[in-house]
Amino acid sequence: MRTFHDHIICTACGTQYARNNGQHFTCPICIDDRQYIPESGQTWTNLALLQKKHGITTRMVREGLIEIQSVPAFAIGQRALLVLHPSGNILWDCIAPVNDAIIDFIRARGGVKAIAFSHPHYYTTMNVWADVFDCPIFIHEADEQWIFNRGPHVQLWKGEELSVSGDMTLHRIGGHFPGSSILRIAQEKEPAFICCGDTFYCSPSKQHLAAMYSYPNRIPLPLAEIKRIRERMQSIPFDALYGFYDYQDIHKGAKALLETSLERYC
């Protein structure tokens, strides 16, 4: 992990780049019209500084699902989700800070078999996480152009589905990014649940799920994309959904809510 300590990290989105000087460099993730450069300008930090300023907390979201978050919040306020599974744990998305306490916490629960991403707004310090746990990083090939710091653990996947481990399957849904994906976890005694990152955005009321090109810039998706996503999701059974932020947990009835939300766009 030490070799990455001085690599620059964008303070607005949390993406780490393989260089130690951010002068004359603008974060490509933030300059994209799905994100933004803050009015105060582009600023950088690094992992060594993050470890001094930010702790990491964990929360049991449901049986077999642990939330991992920076405290105080950093960048977009991302959370990572650790899916515990007898056939090997999956780290769903990453956060920029990494420290010894969270590494020990995850190791005590069996480590990480693979890291899988919903989309580029979570890539952050993915190479550090993969290096620590010596595991592959699964990214859909449609988002390859957004990998600016490609480490040896990155494995691109193709097509619409990838079985990651046991009952866990990645589904490429698209929309927000061409490779936007969800992770579906099938369960023996309960209906399946999905982790979706920004593929669907749960409103604070928890009465609506949005699917947008950009959430911070309020740029919608074309209607044809919404219709395609709606049809695609009809073939994927699930009952619970866990989104980008810590308030975006829907423990029951998430599929019906998604259907009525997407219907509203149409």
Residue 135 or residue 241: which is nearer to Zn ion going by CB?
A: 241
Residues in contact with 68: Cβ distance below 8 Å, sequence separation at least 6, in sequence order: 56, 57, 58, 79, 80, 81, 82, 95, 102
Residue count (the chain): 266
Which residues contribute to the site for Zn ion (CB under 5 A)? 10, 12-13, 27, 29-30, 121, 198
User: In this structure, what are the phi and psi dihedrals at residue 164, rounded to the nearest 5 degrees?
Assistant: -90, -45
Name the residue nearer to Zn ion (CB basis): 121 or 171.
121
Residue 265 CB, nearest distance to Zn ion (Å)?
A: 18
Single out the residue of 99, 2, 95, 9 nearest to residue 55, CA to CA. 99
Helix (H) or strand (E) holding 51: helix 47-53
Nearer to Zn ion, 143 or 198 (CB): 198
Smallest distance, Zn ion to C-beta of residue 186, A: 26
CA-CA-CA-CA torsion sign (177, 28, 154, 132): negative
| Nearer to Zn ion among residue 12 and residue 257 (C-beta) | 12
Query: At closest approach, how far in Å is the CB of 87 from Zn ion?
Result: 29
Q: How far is the CB of 37 from Zn ion (least distance, A)?
A: 8
Cα(216)–Cα(70) distance, rounded to whole angstroms? 20
* Smallest gap from residue 133 Cβ to Zn ion (A): 24
- Looking at residue 238, the DSSP 8-state letter turns out to be -
For Zn ion, the closer CB: 29 or 262: 29
